[in-house]
Structure 1
Amino acid sequence: METPSRILIVDDDHEISHLLAEYLEKNGYRTFTAGDGKAMWKMLEHSRIDLIVLDLNLPGEDGLTLCRSLRAQSSIPVIMLTARGEPLDRILGLEMGADDYLPKPFEPRELFARIRSVLRRTHALPPGQQVPESRQLHFAGWTMDFTARHLIGPDGVIVALSGAEYRLLKIFLEHANRVLSRDQLLNMTQGRDADPFDRSIDLQISRLRQKLGDDARSPQIIKTVRNEGYVLASPVTRDPE
């Protein structure tokens, strides 16, 4: 029997946490709750967690700070809960490494659908994708290690990637020198269609460029194709068999 995924809900509203935990438990997940960052870190020390539902507005360290700290040491998927009508918070959440966001108020079944989608992307390849023949791919002096899920720079230094960044770069490497639209990238990495104001792909590409040392004003690795999308403009090689 498959082990239930373990979800940590970090929210200082105990009533909301209890209701979400109860709903997710009824739908097959194992849930844990924490009221602030300190409790979150303590829970992560002692329990295996598969996904974190993280509220933006928390006492002490807020959700953005916690997400940024988490990304520095872990690739656990994060769904950020933000206040409705605050697009800047959602943008900042994605910049800090959140895998998805959900504005409050929301229906529990909507969060359930987002959790299923993020976990599916995390634990399995997107539909139609194939497992790379090699555990490592090389491009522009960089190495992508699929086993460790991180980048190795030309200087040998390891660069950690968030779950969203890892999936996006993986898609680019599997479709090197092919122009991919924002809609295609969003669908392949997040399993949903873009709306006209969705900037998540642009933000993730900006973060990838920063980590690759790719000048945003004149990028050489991930290039922008006007009115079409983005392209990984570099040869990609595999380790010899």
Structure 2
Amino acid sequence: MKKILIAEDDELIAALERDYLEAAEFEVVIASDGFEGMRLATEEEYALILLDVMLPGPSGFDICREVRRNKNTPIIMVTARKEDVDKIRGLGLGADDYIIKPFSPSEMVARVRAHIRIHERLLSEAREPVKTQVIEVGGLKIDTLSHRVFVNGSEVALTNKEYELLCFLASNPNIVFSKDALFDRIWGMDACGDTSTVTVHINRIREKIEEDTANPRYIETVWGAGYRFTIL
């Protein structure tokens, strides 16, 4: 049985999330504050983490940042605020998705299942005994079998979505993709969000693989059109 961590200080919301997830045959662990959420999220293993933004003690942003130091566990942020800056900040820290309160419990379960399925597919692809495919451009190396990325010989840690986005662009070099096309391809047409999600992830990828983010070598912005992975 897959185990889900819920970090939520509102007992009613936590109970609602737990009931629907348990009905969907998930095992659920609840942390009622940021301190317990931080401990459980970093010390234990979960199929997915549902992370409220506003928690007593460390915030959901703090926990997300810490988890992403060592783990690729899918993270869905839950927020009561509709401001784009909160959504962009969560995605920028490595969250895979966000849900705005009040939300549909059925939609919440559907998103949990979808992100777990994506994560498992990526892990499965990394284990498949097929010939290793390596994309190597300049100092950048993407090993699509092991799901690892290296820059000048040093490994860099990417979230699932960052890796998918980079791998897709690098597998289709010198082709311009609009933000809409990239969002549909990586997040899916039914995903909640907008094209600002693509921009956030592109910027985070650049921070990790580019020597000069102001003059990127690999992922080029084509103004008014989108992005392309450049091979000279």
In the alignment, is residue 209 of structure 1 matched against residue 206 of structure 2? yes
Of the three residues 135, 138, 151, the one matched with 1:137 is 135
Structure 2 residues without counterparts, runs of 5 or longer = 123-127
2:149 — aligned with what?
Answer: 151
1:182 — aligned with what?
Answer: 179
Q: Is the 8 A contact 2:42 2:66 kept in 1?
A: no
Q: Which is further off, 88-97 or 34-43?
A: 34-43
Q: Work out the CA distance in 1 between the residues paired with 2:115 and 2:194.
A: 21
Q: Is the 8 A contact 2:48 2:73 kept in 1?
A: yes
In the alignment, is residue 11 of structure 1 matched against residue 32 of structure 2? no
Question: How many pairs were matched up?
Answer: 226
Evaluate the alpha carbon distance shift between residue 212 and residue 173 of structure 1 in structure 2; reply closer, same or farther with a 3 A threshold. Answer: same
Structure 1 residue 106 displacement after superposition: 0.7
Letter of the structure 1 residue corresponding to residue 169 of structure 2: F
In the superposition, the TM-score normalised over structure 1's length comes to 0.84
Evaluate the alpha carbon distance shift between residue 204 and residue 11 of structure 1 in structure 2; reply closer, same or farther with a 3 A threshold. Answer: same
Structure 1 residues without counterparts, runs of 5 or longer = 126-130, 236-241
SS in 1 for 2:170: helix
2:120 — aligned with what?
Answer: 123
1:90 — aligned with what?
Answer: 87
Q: Is the 8 A contact 1:117 1:191 kept in 2?
A: no
Q: Is the 8 A contact 1:10 1:55 kept in 2?
A: yes
Q: Is the 8 A contact 1:56 1:64 kept in 2?
A: yes
Structure 1 residue 109 displacement after superposition: 1.1
In the alignment, is residue 66 of structure 1 matched against residue 63 of structure 2? yes
In the alignment, is residue 233 of structure 1 matched against residue 208 of structure 2? no
Structure 1 residue 190 displacement after superposition: 1.2
Structure 1 residue 83 displacement after superposition: 2.1
Evaluate the alpha carbon distance shift between residue 197 and residue 148 of structure 1 in structure 2; reply closer, same or farther with a 3 A threshold. Answer: closer
The structure whose residues are more often helix, as a share, is 2
The one of the two structures with greater contact order (alpha-carbon pairs below 8 A, sep at least 6) is 1
Evaluate the alpha carbon distance shift between residue 152 and residue 29 of structure 1 in structure 2; reply closer, same or farther with a 3 A threshold. Answer: same
Of the three residues 4, 21, 26, the one matched with 1:24 is 21
Q: Work out the CA distance in 2 between the residues paired with 1:89 and 1:231.
A: 27
Pairwise CA RMSD of aligned residues? 2.3
Structure 1 residue 89 displacement after superposition: 0.8
Structure 1 residue 5 displacement after superposition: 2.7
Q: Is the 8 A contact 2:41 2:67 kept in 1?
A: no
Q: Work out the CA distance in 1 between the residues paired with 2:97 and 2:147.
A: 19
Structure 1 residue 7 displacement after superposition: 1.4
Q: Is the 8 A contact 2:179 2:195 kept in 1?
A: no
Identity of aligned residues (%): 35
Provide, for residues 10-56 of structure 1, a one-character-per-residue CA deviation record: whole Å limited to 9, x for no partner.
11112211111110111232221112233234434664301111000
